[in-house]
Chains A and B, each alone.
Chain A
Amino acid sequence: MSDFWIILTGCLASVSCGLLGCFLILRQMAMVGDAISHAVLPGIVIAFLFSGSLDSVPMLIGAATFGVITTYLIELFNKKGGLQKDASIGITFTWLFAIGVILISLYADDVHIDQDCVLFGEIAYVALEPLVSYIPGLSAPSTVWVLFIVMLLIIAMIIFGYKGLFLTTFDPSFAAAIGVSTVVWHYLLMSAVSVTTVVSFESVGAILVVALLIAPAATAYLITDKLPKMLVIAALVGVIASFGGYYLAVWLDASVAAAIASVLGIEFTLAFLFSPQDGIIIKRLRR
């Protein structure tokens, strides 16, 4: 049964991340996703210090707040300060992440989060969690519940907000011209990324969550040129990596999270070589 929970956790996290990642890479904001995944750390610690528990809701609020602050600071340094976009990203997230690390070490005795866990996560712990039942007949570890609810919210956001996300991603100035607020959609997406990052964090850690955000979306981008297909493929790529990664980790007796990210890398390489439209080998054969 522990295999099942670990794989399911991986699937839920990678589907949420993969879906959001599609919009991130199409907005040329992949590194903003990276930044957010690190910069939410002080938010989590502060939320913990205030609420005194590892309860998900205050943490999500703390994380979402810092995700939005990160996005805002990046825009501020870029637009008002005239600093390059990548430099703005670099300064913002390292600084916020550092504050988070200091907060953890200051309150290390009280806080149940340790730095290794933040950086690398430990997906295998999910199997040790007690099962909770919110719906009669269904019981699962609370991490799985939280990831599941977040995934449903993200799928709902993409289904109902599809036109808004599509329009503001493809042509923001046209969107603004027809009276659609690009700022609202931007921050909605960034909040979703922050929340998803945090709930995936515990399992895969701050570094590998970036792999979940970017690799499935990048792989899907190479395979298809239709956005709805890209979203589905990104989710599938994540699911395959969760299964493959788990068994690879068992076989090698290695970290599950790292194995998942490695499988993502392999999937990307395969798409890069053999994708029907952009694969370099396919292109060569066609010539």
Chain B
Amino acid sequence: MNIQVDNPVLEVHDLTVSYDKKPVLWDVDFTIPYGNLVGIIGPNGAGKSTLIKAIMGLVPKGSGYIKLYDDSLDSVRHKVSYVPQRESVDWDFPASVLDVVLMGRYGKKGLLKRVSKKDKEIAYESLKRVNMLDFASRQISQLSGGQQQRTFLARALAQEADLYLMDEPFAGVDAATERSIVDLLLEMRKEGKTIVVVHHDLQSAIDYFDWTLLLNTRLVASGPTEKVFTTELLQETYGGKLTLLSKIGDLMKEKQFPAREK
């Protein structure tokens, strides 16, 4: 199933990406409508992170093209925000939370202009929205995982973008933080933002996302979440792994563990 929309915020056409000649994404083709909370779901190594990196031009494309707001990335870069995986940076870096959030202002200002009072106000406002205002002058080396993630989200908010691409924002955060991040994303959607989230947990995905992409190197499905979440499509995405899981379940019930042949 691949539901195409008219006038999409993001269009990926025939995208193929390879690392060392091994395809990580193969012929991926989809469109995403405005104002949705979108989940990219798939097993480990399915190319989920690579997909949003390719959209941001961070990995070279083998073939295909990507359009944002019916335009190239370079001309709409100020409207797009990218939130990398939390583990991708060194959190022992000598910087404060505010320093990191202010980076969200660099794109609009350029690198040579000084940080203005207004930039700081926006940064504090963003910190407030993620409940991190009290931590503004804290060194990032002293943050917990959930606080690190919220710092990254505040930086993204400070960019004042319209389209947000987030790589695993729920990875390694506790349940309370996850809940508060989801609330923030819903709030952002209400403001008309489009948010694309790489996510690995199937169960919560059904509750969180309006639109879901099922990905496993190839695109298995793209459409409204309730239409995409069918046993058949999930089986196709997770391949043998889901069947293996159900087989293991059956075996556990019958308590018949196969002995290794001699």
Check B84 against A227 for contact (C-beta < 8 Å).
no
Give bound CA distance, A167 to B100, whole Å: 9
CB-CB < 8 A to A180: which residues of B? 106-107, 111
In the complex, whether B141 has a CB less than 8 A from a CB of chain A is: yes
Q: Mask for A222-264, Cβ within 8 A of B = 1, else 0?
A: 0011110110000000000000000000000000000000000
Check A225 against B88 for contact (C-beta < 8 Å).
no
CB-CB < 8 A to A221: which residues of B? 94
In the complex, whether A163 has a CB less than 8 A from a CB of chain B is: yes
- Which of the segments A7-15, A109-117, A170-178, A194-202 contacts the partner chain? A170-178
Selected from B56, B94, B106, the residue in CB contact (under 8 A) with A167 is B106
Docked complex: A131-152 residues within 8 A CB-CB of B: none
Q: Mask for A83-103, Cβ within 8 A of B = 1, else 0?
A: 000000000000000000000
- Please give me the residue from chain A that is nearest to B56 by CB atom: A177
Give bound CA distance, A179 to B56, whole Å: 10
Check A178 against B58 for contact (C-beta < 8 Å).
no
- Please give me the residue from chain B that is nearest to A231 by CB atom: B94
Docked complex: A271-287 residues within 8 A CB-CB of B: none
CB-CB < 8 A to A169: which residues of B? 93
CB-CB < 8 A to A177: which residues of B? 56-58, 77, 80-82, 84
Min Cβ gap A181→B in Å is 10
User: How many chain A residues touch B (Cβ–Cβ < 8 Å)?
Assistant: 26
In the complex, whether A52 has a CB less than 8 A from a CB of chain B is: no
Q: Which of B53, B77, B88, B107 is packed against the most chain A CB atoms within 10 Å?
A: B107
CB-CB < 8 A to A171: which residues of B? 84, 88-89, 103
Size bracket of the B interface:
20 to 34
Check B90 against A170 for contact (C-beta < 8 Å).
yes
Selected from A160, A167, A173, A227, the residue in CB contact (under 8 A) with B82 is A173
In the complex, whether B96 has a CB less than 8 A from a CB of chain A is: yes
Docked complex: B180-214 residues within 8 A CB-CB of A: none
Give bound CA distance, A66 to B158, whole Å: 41
CB-CB < 8 A to A82: which residues of B? 20
Q: Which of A163, A167, A230 is packed against the most chain B CB atoms within 10 Å?
A: A163
In the complex, whether B139 has a CB less than 8 A from a CB of chain A is: yes
Min Cβ gap A168→B in Å is 10
Check A166 against B82 for contact (C-beta < 8 Å).
no
Give bound CA distance, A170 to B94, whole Å: 9
Main secondary structure of the interface of B (DSSP, over half): mixed
Give bound CA distance, A227 to B84, whole Å: 22
Docked complex: A68-93 residues within 8 A CB-CB of B: 82
Check B82 against A225 for contact (C-beta < 8 Å).
no
CB-CB < 8 A to A26: which residues of B? 90, 93-94
Give bound CA distance, A224 to B139, whole Å: 10
Q: Mask for B75-107, Cβ within 8 A of A = 1, else 0?
A: 001001110100011100111100110010011
Check A166 against B95 for contact (C-beta < 8 Å).
yes
CB-CB < 8 A to A160: which residues of B? 112
- Please give me the residue from chain A that is nearest to B113 by CB atom: A163
Min Cβ gap B142→A in Å is 8
CB-CB < 8 A to B159: which residues of A? 178
Check B82 against A230 for contact (C-beta < 8 Å).
no
Check A176 against B94 for contact (C-beta < 8 Å).
no
CB-CB < 8 A to B134: which residues of A? none
Check B103 against A161 for contact (C-beta < 8 Å).
no
In the complex, whether A164 has a CB less than 8 A from a CB of chain B is: yes
Q: Mask for A179-192, Cβ within 8 A of B = 1, else 0?
A: 11000000000000
Check B112 against A227 for contact (C-beta < 8 Å).
no
Min Cβ gap B46→A in Å is 19
Check B139 against A179 for contact (C-beta < 8 Å).
no
CB-CB < 8 A to A161: which residues of B? 111
CB-CB < 8 A to A166: which residues of B? 95, 99, 103
Min Cβ gap B82→A in Å is 4
Check A174 against B95 for contact (C-beta < 8 Å).
no
In the complex, whether B74 has a CB less than 8 A from a CB of chain A is: yes
Give bound CA distance, A53 to B72, whole Å: 51
CB-CB < 8 A to A229: which residues of B? 94
Min Cβ gap B54→A in Å is 12
The 8 closest A-B pairs by CB, nearest first: A178-B107, A177-B82, A225-B139, A164-B111, A163-B111, A227-B94, A225-B94, A177-B56
Given A170-B90, A170-B100, A174-B84, 5 other A-B residues pairs in contact with their CB atoms under 8 A: A28-B90, A173-B58, A177-B81, A179-B107, A221-B94
Instruction: Give 12 A-B contacts (CB < 8 Å), ordered by A residue.
Output: A26-B90, A26-B93, A82-B20, A163-B111, A163-B112, A167-B103, A171-B103, A177-B80, A178-B159, A226-B94, A227-B99, A230-B94
- Interface, chain B (partner A; CB < 8 A): 20, 53, 56-58, 74, 77, 80-82, 84, 88-90, 93-96, 99-100, 103, 106-107, 111-112, 139, 141, 155, 159
